[in-house]
Amino acid sequence: MKLRSSELGASSKKPRVPSSEFGASIKKLRVPSSGLGVPGKKLRVPSCELGVSSKKLHVPSSWLGASSKKPRGPSSGLGVLSKKPRAPSSELRLSGTALGTWTVPPTALAAGRLRHDIVVSSYRRFPMNSPDFAHIGRTLRGMPASDGAGVRLTRVIGTPQLEMLDPFLMLDEFGTDQPEDYLAGFPDHPHRGFETVTYMLDGRMRHKDNHGNEGVLVPGSVQWMTAGRGLVHSEMPEQQEGRMRGFQLWVNLPAAEKMSQPQYQEFAPDRIPQLQPADGVRVKVIAGRVGDVAGPIRQPATDPVYLDIELAPGVEWDVDLPEGHNAFAYAFEGAGSIGEGDATRAIVSQEIAVLVGGRTVRFRAGEGGLRAILVAGRPLREPVARYGPFVMNTKEQIMQAFVDFQEGRF
Ligand code: FE
């Protein structure tokens, strides 16, 4: 890849950008996709980091400027280059799905630190105080699947298209009025190494494990189960007819907690704070915070956010996520959009929107209103070895899980 002299100035190697705009603007860089992953090039972009929505970009620390100030900037909607927390200064984290088009902070461009590998194609000015908006990196429809003893559901995360979104390993939506789709339930099965989160919207589900825990999930209730070192449980419908609807999310545990004691955080509907932060906005805070209100779930490892958001037709609402979290929204009623300005993109029911860029998520409901879950978590960035209901760090640990399960040690 050659620096285009027309854009950067061949003699100085500096981008031709008025210096007055440093600090108030971020630059959009274009890296030809043909240049990615070529041995010997300075850009190395493994394809598997964080599923499909993010890439890791190694950049010489000299690009960052002597101050080494944490580079962050408003998003152009095409991804934000930001320093990985606690990473060596030479490693930057790049989020974005528009291959080859990303945004970098002004510090990386200042004082001729731009290298020949990158071509500045355009830049854009942002007001200094503009919120740092998240945008949709990609949208995907779930896949019809069958699990347990034949329950029909839609798998949204944990598919060939979206294997995981660290720390989220799986998302299933179940929703049907047909008893034959759910009656078979999920008879006894094991879990090890992660957490299962069940959020019921309609219907009743009884759970029972081999440690003597038992309960019934009713509409609006949440069960955050830390499987840890392992348990065997069943999840069976507590109804013969009517509607069954909800979500099951799998959240990974860090290596240090994979063999922890199993535990439950289970909350009835009235224990989940429900807010009306603005006209036409109703939010249930299962985990994380909205303003001063915190949800009941505690999980320091991944610091999860799990919101059930309902917007009246045409209503717009902004919500902030913790910095550095991976996030997605999944619309399950109505339609609308996410993002700000030119980078706003539509979301429709039964589609997941993987979010990239900034921390502020701007939702806008369409004519029929919108209901979506917004889920975010701190990525663990650890190796994942998974097989069915076991999710560990290595293949050997998976084999051990099989042995332990077969020998009744769960
Ligand atoms: Fe289960």
Q: What is the rounded distance in angstroms from the CA atom of residue 373 to the CA atom of residue 288?
A: 13
Confidence of residue 36 (pLDDT cuts 50, 70, 90): very low
What are 331's strand-pairing partners?
351, 372
Clarify whether residues 271 and 360 are in a common domain. Answer: yes
- pLDDT digit string, tens, across residues 198-226: 999 999 999 999 999 999 999 999 999 99
Task: Determine the average pLDDT of the residues in 39-59.
Answer: 29
pLDDT in the model for residue 97: 28
Task: Determine the average pLDDT of the residues in 20-35.
Answer: 32
291 CA → ligand 1 middle, Å: 33
Average pLDDT of the chain, as a whole number: 76
List the one residue out of 346, 226, 232, 350 whose CA is nearest residue 297: 226
Residue 397 covered by a domain: no
Asked whether the beta carbons of 331 and 345 are under 8 A apart, the reply is no
Q: Element (H or E) spanning 174, and its range? A: strand 168-176
The answer, yes or no, to whether residue 376 has pLDDT greater than 90, is yes
Confidence of residue 124 (pLDDT cuts 50, 70, 90): very low
Confidence of residue 66 (pLDDT cuts 50, 70, 90): very low
Residue 403 covered by a domain: no
The answer, yes or no, to whether residue 293 has pLDDT greater than 50, is yes
Asked whether the beta carbons of 307 and 374 are under 8 A apart, the reply is yes
pLDDT in the model for residue 342: 86
247 CA → ligand 1 middle, Å: 12
173 CA → ligand 1 middle, Å: 14
List the one residue out of 40, 8, 25, 214 whose CA is nearest residue 113: 8
Which residue range(s) make up the domain with 308? 137-392
pLDDT in the model for residue 64: 31
pLDDT in the model for residue 86: 34
DSSP 64-82: G-TT---------SS-EEE
220 CA → ligand 1 middle, Å: 19
The answer, yes or no, to whether residue 13 has pLDDT greater than 80, is no
156 CA → ligand 1 middle, Å: 17
pLDDT in the model for residue 62: 34
334 CA → ligand 1 middle, Å: 29
Q: What is the rounded distance in angstroms from the CA atom of residue 118 to the CA atom of residue 116?
A: 5
pLDDT in the model for residue 242: 95
Asked whether the beta carbons of 207 and 197 are under 8 A apart, the reply is no
Clarify whether residues 95 and 197 are in a common domain. Answer: no
3 CA → ligand 1 middle, Å: 54
Counted domains in the chain: 2
| Beta-strand pair 54-58/186-191 | unpaired
Clarify whether residues 167 and 295 are in a common domain. Answer: yes
Say which CATH number the domain at 366 has.
2.60.120.10
Clarify whether residues 154 and 256 are in a common domain. Answer: yes
Q: What is the rounded distance in angstroms from the CA atom of residue 279 to the CA atom of residue 317?
A: 10
197 CA → ligand 1 middle, Å: 9
Claim: this prediction has a pTM higher than 0.75: no
pLDDT in the model for residue 96: 31
DSSP 236-275: EES-SSS-EEEEEEEEE--GGGTTSPPEEEEE-GGGS-EE
Higher confidence at residue 97 or residue 103?
A: 103
Residue 19 to residues 14, 15, 113, Cα–Cα distance (Å): 11, 10, 14
Residue 378 covered by a domain: yes
Residues 6+ apart with CB under 8 A from 406: none
Asked whether the beta carbons of 303 and 322 are under 8 A apart, the reply is yes
Percent of the chain with pLDDT over 70: 68
pLDDT in the model for residue 374: 98
pLDDT in the model for residue 28: 35
Residue 153 to residues 24, 146, 252, 306, 364, Cα–Cα distance (Å): 47, 6, 21, 20, 27
Clarify whether residues 177 and 248 are in a common domain. Answer: yes
269 CA → ligand 1 middle, Å: 21
- pLDDT digit string, tens, across residues 182-195: 999 999 999 999 99
